[in-house]
Amino acid sequence: MNWDELYQTGVTPWEKGAPAPPLIEWLRKHGPLEGEVLVPGCGYGHDVRAIAAASPKSTVVGIDISATALKEALTYSSVGREVFQSASIFALPQSLQNRFDWVFEHTCFCAIQPDRRHDYLKMAVSALKPEGKLLAIFFLNPWDPEDEIPEGGGPPFGVTKEEIDNLFNPHFDLVDELEPKTAFPGREGREIVRLMRKKRVGVSEC
């Protein structure tokens, strides 16, 4: 998947010009994400800025592999301590490891090939401090049964709760799960929000 080409050619159906409604819902209900926050696959950075605006003392790091997306992210006025960095979730730089209090997931997990999900898990485990938290909006079923699935499948790739359990439970404790009341049009009832806490295990055990 050439993500930068998609941004360059304006083929960005995921780009809504606003932060994820379930994130805003979460922040209103539970308050800011305190400390250092990593947002993988941040795109234009709407979620990064929403977290930074709600959490003025927090450093929020948005990473992406698309230079075009990051260039666009930098055109927005700063709202807090947000920074954007070019990095792949599959080769997390040392400077981003064992550092974060939070990882916030939204439409990065569903964008990668399902056979790379274990590498996503490794990224989250290695980015977080012991007992750091993963707050994730998971896209359960992006396609209606009657939808025409694009040739070759997604993305976005859906995921079941059982698959999430099997992947994350060995390394994270589930703290909370909720069905968001708000969503981007078309995503209603298709997402779940999970709050998970990293167990005290080393990344080598992933």
Number of Cα atoms under 13 Å in the Cβ half of residue 16:
14
Residue nearest to ligand SAM (CB): 41
Residue 41 or 80 having the CB closest to ligand SAM: 41
Is residue 88 a contact point for ligand SAM (CB under 6 A)?
yes
> Which are the contacts of 77, defined by CB distance < 8 A and separation ≥ 6?
none
Q: Please report whether residue 5 would count as binding ligand SAM according to CB under 6 A.
A: no
The CA-CA-CA angle for residues 188, 101, 73, to 5°, reads 60
Identify which range of 52-60, 85-93, 94-102, 143-151 contacts ligand SAM by CB under 6 A: 85-93
For the chain, count helices (H), then strands (E): 6, 7
Q: Does 143 bind ligand SAM (CB under 6 A)?
A: no
126 forms part of the interface with ligand SAM (CB under 6 A) = no
In the range 165-194, which residues lie near ligand SAM by CB under 6 A? none
CA distance 193 to 180: 7
- Shortest reach from residue 119's CB to ligand SAM, in Å: 9
Does position 121 interact with ligand SAM (CB under 6 A)? The reply is no
Asked if 157 touches ligand SAM (CB under 6 A), the answer is: no
Tell me whether residue 15 or residue 199 sits nearer to ligand SAM (CB atom).
15
Quote the least distance from Cβ 200 to ligand SAM, whole Å.
26
Q: How are the residues of the chain apportioned to helix, strand and coil, as percentages rounded to the nearest 5?
A: 30, 25, 45
> Are the beta carbons of 106 and 20 closer than 8 angstroms?
yes
Q: Which stretch binds ligand SAM (CB under 6 A): 48-56, 86-94, 157-165, 182-190?
A: 86-94
Q: Are 133 and 197 in contact (CB under 8 A)?
A: yes
Contact 67, 4 (CB under 8 A): yes
**Sites of contact with ligand SAM (CB under 6 A):** 3, 14-15, 40-43, 63-66, 69, 88-90, 106-108, 111-112
